[in-house]
Amino acid sequence: MSSELIDLLNDAIAREIQVSIQYMWQHVRIYGFDHLAIADELKKIAIEEMKHAESIAERVDYLGGIPTTKPAEIRVGNKPEEMIEFDKEAEEGAIKLYRRIIEKAEGEKDYVTKKLFQDILADEEEHHNTFKGLLEK
């Protein structure tokens, strides 16, 4: 496998660690009666993101790389709308990166990595849709 693909996968791990922490801290910090359901959703998504990080790290290890332990920049925010805007932007970045990884994996005939990221991409698009919907209300 190319070192470029390993680097891209480590970028993905950094993003997944970032959002798992970001969403969990937002889950803890979001306040107000109307935000109980949002807090639960943030917690659920944070757990999904950590599972993504684990799956990608296992793949990096299998491919002979060393999985990163450093998250991308964590942006929690102070108000619910700001938090969800940060989250929507994080998902948009992930979607763009994961499409690039899928193309790279396809080019390298790494069909396992391609499938892994197709599955994760579907989750990320769902998360993005959730955050986009919350901002529209």
We report the CATH number of the domain holding residue 29 as 1.20.1260.10
Residue 19 identity (one-letter amino acid): V
Residues contacting 5, CB < 8 A, separation 6+ = 63, 101, 104, 105, 108, 110, 113
Please give the pLDDT value at position 137: 64
User: How many independent structural domains does the chain possess?
Assistant: 1
Enter the tokens of residue 64: 């002979």
- Which residues span the domain enclosing 9? 3-136
Give the three-state DSSP class for 88: helix
Distance from the Cα of residue 96 to its chain's centroid: 11
- The answer to whether the beta carbons of residues 9 and 58 sit under 8 Å apart is no
Distance (Å, whole) CA 15 – CA 31: 25
For the chain, which ranges sit under pLDDT 50? none
The pTM is what?
0.94
Q: Which residue has the tokens 């969403």?
A: 23
Q: Which residue has the tokens 């994961």?
A: 98
